[in-house]
Each structure stands twice: as structure tokens, then as C-alpha cells.
Amino acid sequence: MDLSVLAGLLARPRPARLPDHPMVKSGVKDRRRRTYSCGNSSRFARDSLFIPDVVAGEPYALGKCSRSLVIPANLRSSITMGTDHRIEPISLDQAGLQTTSALLAHVFPSAAHFTPAVLDWQYVQNPDGKAVGFNAWSHDQLAGHYVTIPLLARLNGTEEKALLSLNTATHPDHQGKGLFTRLANATYERATELGYGSVIGVANANSVHGFTRKLGFQHVAPLLALIGAGPLRMDAVHDVPAFSTVLHADRLRWRLAHPVYRYAVASSAHEVLVLSEKRLKGFRFILHQGKGLDGSDLPRVDAPFLRAFIGLDPAIRRSRSLYLNVPMRFRPSPLHLIFKDLTGRGRRLDPSKVRFQAIDFDTL
């Protein structure tokens, strides 16, 4: 053996010792473990947790797989996973918004709506309350961010304070360390203390399983993605939806004052359409469709012939409309409605009784 290689091996720092436990010994491996590759595509057995080699001063810090010890699931609670990340409530001052905007822009470089002005509009100016969320810090670097914003919801006929799960981001240097789960759980704990009863959200195909498996969300249903021509027929339903947001005048005014997106209003079949400027293959997106909507502050346009609708609404009558629900395999990023009860009563939503349109979240 080359002497320089031998010297390097002898000089390697010894791994920090795990807590004494009759079943935690160096070299012990969970026999149920299967072999997986390391790297960004790594997957591990569900009943095991990898504890990579560590050096003194950084006990149990997650890193690359190397001569790893597998800790059986029933022993995890006896081991404290050390971390140098501080979990703190989000800062809503201008400096905090600037820092958050920089992280979001770094993680999502193609997105144009993570400016400080948009964050101030979302996090601070919301008439239903200021944002609730947490940041993860590594020394002076913002490593992770998760935020929810307040709304009023009507659930089973009763109005309650609720939250919309909004932005989440983890800096590439800090991914794979469980920060999203920690930030989300801290947010929901704080939200419960503040009297919020539920969290509603829209997740894409990449994130929906993280919300349902790690954070206890209900997967309510995939959102409809309708494209068609002419009016989208909606009947006047006698039953109040089991879940809907409360679109009061102040919230509507705030929602339509997006710093980046632009909207217009049109009339169609005795209903008011709020239209997004965005289109899909020539189909213009409907932000909201309903009666009694005051869109007087928006420019008025003719109702487009080709339209697109994203959301859920029990009043939709597709059999009387020339609309197609785009198959999931043809959608670039299918969206899913998720729900989490914060009251401890185990409440769940019936997707056939949910009214949730594009105006209720931030995609358009």
C-alpha cells in the first residue's frame, strides 16, 4: 500500500460515538435493509434511517452516504439528530422580505413573481392577517423557508380562521436534511396557538406525497383542469358547499391587486367572470366565476370564446357545457387539493362538496 494513502487513513477523524444502547453498535445493520445507491436519487428502506459517518463537533449531521450505520425505526426516538440550523419565525420587515425573495429566486430562477413587492403583498397586506411561517438559518444564511397566509373559510356552515399553504423553499446546499418537515410542523403548531382551524393547499405531483405522508394532510382530490368553448354552466345549488373560502370585499380587492399579474372582468350567461391574463394554447384562464361579484375596478373585456378553468365546484354542470377535463397524463404539472385539520377532530373534506377556484390560491 502506498504510504501516503496509509497516512491519510490513519489521520482520518474518528466518528462520533452514538449513544449507548444494546441495539446500537458500530457495524450493526438492519437486516431488512435493501441496498440503494447514494446521491440525489437515493432511496432508503422505510423502516430505516441512515446515519452517515460524522466527525467530532458535528454529531449525526446528515451528509453523503459513506460507510453508513442504519438505525432501526424503533430506536430513532432515542437518538437526537444534531443540526446547526436555527428554526425561527419569518421576518416580515423589508430586510426579511428581501432575504426571502433572494432565496425563492435562487431556488426557482424561472419564476418572476417572487419579488419583495409580491411577498409584501402576500405576507403583510392580506386583510385576513399576516403570514405565519418559519425560516431555517445556517449561521447567517437562509437555508429554508415555509409560509402560510390567512384566509376565512366556511367549513360545514361555520366560518373559521384558516391558512393557505403557500411558499416553500430549501437552499440546494441544505436539501435532504428534513428542513421542510421541521418548518411546516413549527408553522402548524404556531397556527394552532393563534386559533387557526385548518390549512388548505394546492400541491403539485412532486410535493403532494410529502404533505400527505410526512405532514398528515388529506389528499382531497386532483383539481379539475377544464378547457372548452363558450359558457361553463353552473347551476344554483341549494346546498352550501361543505368547504369554501369567504371572498369578502376587502379580500377580493386585495386579491385582484396582485403586483405582477393582471386581470380583467367580463359577463357571461348572467355571471361575472374574472379573467387572468394567462392563456393555455389560446384558452384564457378563468380566475373566478360567480354571481354578485364586484369587479368594477378591473378593465372590462368581452367574454372569451375559449376558456380554461382550474379548481373544484359542485355547481359545475359539464354535461351542459362544451368542456373537457384534461387527462392527468397530458398536464405538465397536475395540481392537487390538500387539507389539514388543526383542531384535533380529524375533520376531512368531501371533494364533491368543495368550492375552490383559482382566485383562492396563487397560481394565476
Q: Flag whether pLDDT at 331 surpasses 50.
A: yes
Reading the block at residue 96, the C-alpha cell is 426579511
CA distance 283 to 304: 8
The residue-averaged pLDDT of 181-197 equals 98
110: CATH: 3.40.630.30
Average pLDDT on 173-199 reads 97
| pLDDT tens by residue, 18-28 | 444 333 333 33
DSSP 8-state code for residue 241: P
Q: Note whether 95 and 141 are same-domain residues.
A: yes
* Mean pLDDT for all residues in the chain: 81
270 belongs to a structural domain: yes
Q: Is the pLDDT of residue 45 over 60?
A: no
Q: What is the pLDDT of residue 83?
A: 61
In this structure, of 30-44, 122-136, 214-228, 290-304, the range with the lowest mean pLDDT score is 30-44
Q: Which grid cell is 328?
A: 392527468
The domain containing residue 72 runs over which residues?
1-82
How would residue 333 be classed by pLDDT, with cut points 50, 70 and 90?
confident
Q: Are residues 261 and 336 in the same domain?
A: yes
Q: Answer yes or no: do 67 and 160 share one domain.
A: no
Specify if 201 maps to a domain: no
Predicted local distance difference test score (pLDDT) of residue 296:
62
Same domain, 241 and 254: yes
Distance in Å from the first CA to the final CA of the chain: 63
- Is residue 293 over pLDDT 60? yes
Among 35, 54, 82, which residue terminates a domain? 82
Q: What percent of the chain has pLDDT over 70?
A: 74
Where do we find the cell 377544464? Answer: 226
Report helix, strand or coil for 93. Answer: coil
CB atoms within 10 A of CB 129: 14
The total domain count for the chain is 3
Look at residue 238 in the predicted model and tell me its pLDDT: 54
Residues 150 and 68 reside in one and the same domain: no
Other beta carbons less than 10 A from residue 313's beta carbon: 18
Mean pLDDT of 95-115: 95
Predicted confidence at residue 7, as pLDDT, reads 43
The answer to the question of residue 243 being in a domain is yes
What local confidence, expressed as pLDDT, does residue 292 receive? 64
Asked if the model's pLDDT at residue 306 lies above 70, the reply is yes
pLDDT, residue 82, reads: 44
pLDDT band at residue 190 under the 50/70/90 scheme = very high
Supply the pLDDT for residue 268. Answer: 78
pLDDT of residue 301: 93
**Can you give the pLDDT at residue 294?**
63
Determine whether 37 is exposed, middle or buried from the number of CB atoms within 10 Å of its CB (0-12, 13-18, 19+): exposed
Residue 216 included in any domain? no
**Neighbour-count burial for 151-185, b at 16+ CB within 10 Å, e otherwise:** bbbbbeeeebbbbbbbbbbbbeebbebbbbebbbb
